[in-house]
Structure 1
Amino acid sequence: MARRDERATAGLSLAELLVAVAVLALLAGLAFGSGRRWLAQQQLETATRLVLAGLDQGRAQAGRLGRPCAIALSQQGWQGPNGGGLPSCLAQPLPLQEGVGAGALELTHNLPAALRFSSNGLLLDGGTVVLAVAGTPLQRCVVMALPLGVTRVGHWREGSCAPA
């Protein structure tokens, strides 16, 4: 009789083991899903900061040069303008995919082909940039308002940029 009791308390039954594995798999799945969403949100925030960094670099460079210059925004990021007669405000391109998986960033904007800065660094053009990253429903927007080139960041909802 003692042998049967020793065997019964010696380990887990197959059913108990399967339940434990199922619970662990469920917890791992939940953690992975929320981790992926968090990563997508961080990628979106990084891309938003890089849009703002390009604008800041353009302002600063125009002030340093003491003459007007321009930058252009494409799916790849900030770069010098294609033609137009104004020099680039950037020493080198500033990619928006930095820290974001290739192709994961969706960028739309209504900016002109070349975003111009005055000789003292004022933004002469305006528009809205909308950023989205696969894996999160959150969308960010950057609005450049005229006449002073004031920039604000918000959440893109229902076709407008709401303050963050």
Structure 2
Amino acid sequence: MTAYSSTVDTQLGPFTAVTTASGAVLASGWTARIDDLLPVIHKSLRPSAVAPRADLGDVTKAIVAYHEGDLTAIDAIEVHQTGGEFLLHAWDILRTVPAGKPTTYMDYAALSGRPAAIRAAAMACARNAAALFVPCHRITRTGGGMGGFRWGIEIKRQLLAHES
């Protein structure tokens, strides 16, 4: 399968997305390097080739609109990720956490149907390949600590400030 990639300059730095031919996001994040994204795509979805494009249509529009203040622009973008039943459900739940209303890992575990599985909920965030479109940055530690984020704590802090 051939996928497509594009990098957009944002206020937080370069943001790159990798999509299927139909426009579903396979991976994304605040980087200009495609090599930072390909390893996080599940092996069964990993493309055999990635062709650069200047624009990825609706995905590029959503990236720009989100960074310009339309916090719901990312909501309708299709994402393709795969994993076990819990991971798939947990990623779906992440997409329901509203901008400006971050939740804790503990509450996220409960929303995902497994209140005692706080570490599993954190792992779902860590394994999320489609940053921004599956907004794992909206999950924080109890007491307001940032927790981890693949693209750095400062990016996470700025995203949460942008959404508040």
Q: What TM-score range do you get, normalising by the shorter chain?
A: under 0.3
Taking structure 1 as the reference length, the TM-score comes to 0.27
Higher relative CO (Cα under 8 Å, sequence separation at least 6) belongs to 2
TM-score by length of 2: 0.27
Higher strand share: 1
Q: For the pair shown, which has the larger CA radius of gyration, 1 or 2?
A: 1
